[in-house]
Amino acid sequence: MRLLVANSNTSDFVTGRVAEGAREAARPGTEIVAVTGRFGARVIATRTELAVAEHATVELLAEHATGCDAVIIAVSYDCGLWAAREMLDVPVVGITEAALVTASLLGTRIGMVVFGDRVLPIYREVVERHGYDSRVAAWRGIVSNAPYSPGDTSAADALAVSAAVELAEREGCEAIVLTGAVMAGVAARLQPRVPVPIVDGVTCAVRVAQMLVDARPAKPRTGSLAPLPVRAQHGVGAALAARFGGGQPA
């Protein structure tokens, strides 16, 4: 089984963290192919950067998805997720959607731990888009850039643990989602200090993707996720243009 893990920002450090976490989560025999966006922000933290990342995502997947059994979008806003499901014939998994699905199977009230205050509204919209707003009971924002650079992460770990414990003990949350692609594999490290299940998106997405590959789902032939029509595209990469049946500008 071959899984494409696409980090739509331009940070090779984040891609490395994601790849490491994905390989730890994957079962034997699963190959992880990790790729980084060619343009856009190093860390996506605004709506405008997210809009750029949507384009970066479909360009990445158009170029690299051939030969892969499933795709994981390793940006915690699940950017370009539905477009990717429309464009590709293989399962596409967003890391936050996978974490929400997993957390919903572990507890009735979900708590969300988010790095950064400015992005909280964007995460709320992601949760609403996925239909989990009624299951998410509380949020906690953490202000720290430590996870996004090499070095000691103990301070960031302590902040995440404090937020998760507070969500569990004060808000009654029974499962916690630790957001952020760079937090791949971190939930397992924090679990002994958190009194309820805590999950991270990359770990959940790898396991959901493997399950979907095993299930061999059909590609929709009708509706909004049906295959792309043949249509000329202007100014996009050759691989993305080819996804529209090879349609090129006249």
Q: Are 240 and 231 in contact (CB under 8 A)?
A: no
Question: Lowest-confidence range among 133-137, 181-185, 207-211?
Answer: 181-185
- The pLDDT tens digits for 144-161 are 765 666 667 788 899 999
Q: pTM of the full predicted structure? A: 0.93
Alpha-carbon distance 208 to 214, whole Å?
A: 10
125: nearest Cα among 180, 219, 56, 47: 47
Q: Domains in the chain and their CATH numbers?
A: 2-94+205-243 (3.40.50.12500), 97-201 (3.40.50.12500)
- The pLDDT tens digits for 68-101 are 999 999 999 999 999 999 999 999 999 999 999 9
